[in-house]
Structure 1
């Protein structure tokens, strides 16, 4: 099997539908987690969309499963689905081996809770720990194969965060 055969097999596989959640607080900082399988890299919560499930409902479910946040407020979303391919070096479980990569929808939520209110253990643990970070720093903190994805939605979400905070500070 040569490189062309491997490429054909990879491109014949479908993308897995997935949703990513960016959660920010009143300081404009976003929650990122250090992945169990990628110590030292930080990313936003994300997860698969079940068959027949609406992506916004999936986002709320995954947000609760991954970091224990239930009452986040929807702000906006990136207008397009963003694909990325799994690198060959990634050790995928048998479920994910059926896919070429992921096709993601990114949603922005506001939540003014504390990290101590988050629960990383009530479901299958995805993150070793979580922290707040400036959104523009997330592009450098994420694993290499997701940097292009983050570079697409981060500028839009940074602006939306600033606008949301400005609008809500006026109403107080």
Structure 2
């Protein structure tokens, strides 16, 4: 390894603490039975564990974009779903760090994690509206499958580094799972 390559690696590790958080939204889509939509990840470098492959839809917020509008856009781009009603939102921004071992490869090394605004949405459509393999607007599929899951199960299905965020989201929206 060249001296320059070694120095770059050291600089990248030292830089991790200085990296910003990517601004994102997360969506808890709840059906009429009080179950939550989760998708099986198609991949992604930040998903370091083959055991924890399920997550709720989430995605980036464009500069100047309203977070509620971003949530509806991202939900459509990942699931084809448009039939929703806003139920609630977490008032705080929830933050997680990705593991240092993948930080240089995820999101082109520009972020140390995400700061997310979370929304609970009631799904008012029919299950056949959901299409994660061929999502809305011709976007690349982020999921290879989906299912409805009881809300209380969500934290144990997500990669461990995102678990505290999911625990908080479940706590915030627990009263909405009554159907």
Gap regions ≥5 residues in structure 1: 166-172
Give the whole-Å Cα distance in 2 for the aligned partners of 1:44 and 1:94: 19
- Contact 2:151–2:177 (CA<8 Å) still a contact in 1? no
Deviation at 1:159, TM superposition (A): 1.2
Instruction: State TM-score, norm by structure 2.
Output: 0.82
Tell me the alpha carbon deviations over residues 78-130 of structure 1, each in whole angstroms, 9 at most, x when there is no partner.
11001111112337656441011100011000014343321221311000100
Is 2:140 the partner of 1:124?
yes
8 Å contact from structure 1 (residues 36, 128) kept in 2: yes
Aligned residues: 163
Give the structure 1 partner of residue 177 of structure 2. 161
The 10-residue stretch of structure 1 (50-59 or 114-123) with the greater mean CA deviation from structure 2: 114-123
1:28 maps onto 2:44 in alignment: no
- Report what 1:141 is aligned to: 157
Q: C-alpha separation between the residues in 1 aligned to 2:170 and 2:86?
A: 16
Q: TM-score, normalised by structure 1?
A: 0.85
Equivalent residues of 2:85, 2:122 under 8 A apart = yes
Residues 13, 100 of structure 1: 8 Å contact kept: yes
Q: Helix, strand or coil: the match of 2:118?
A: strand
User: Structure 1 residue 153: deviation in Å?
Assistant: 1.4
Answering whether residue 100 of structure 2 is matched by residue 84 of structure 1, we say no
**How far off is 1:155 after superposition?**
1.5
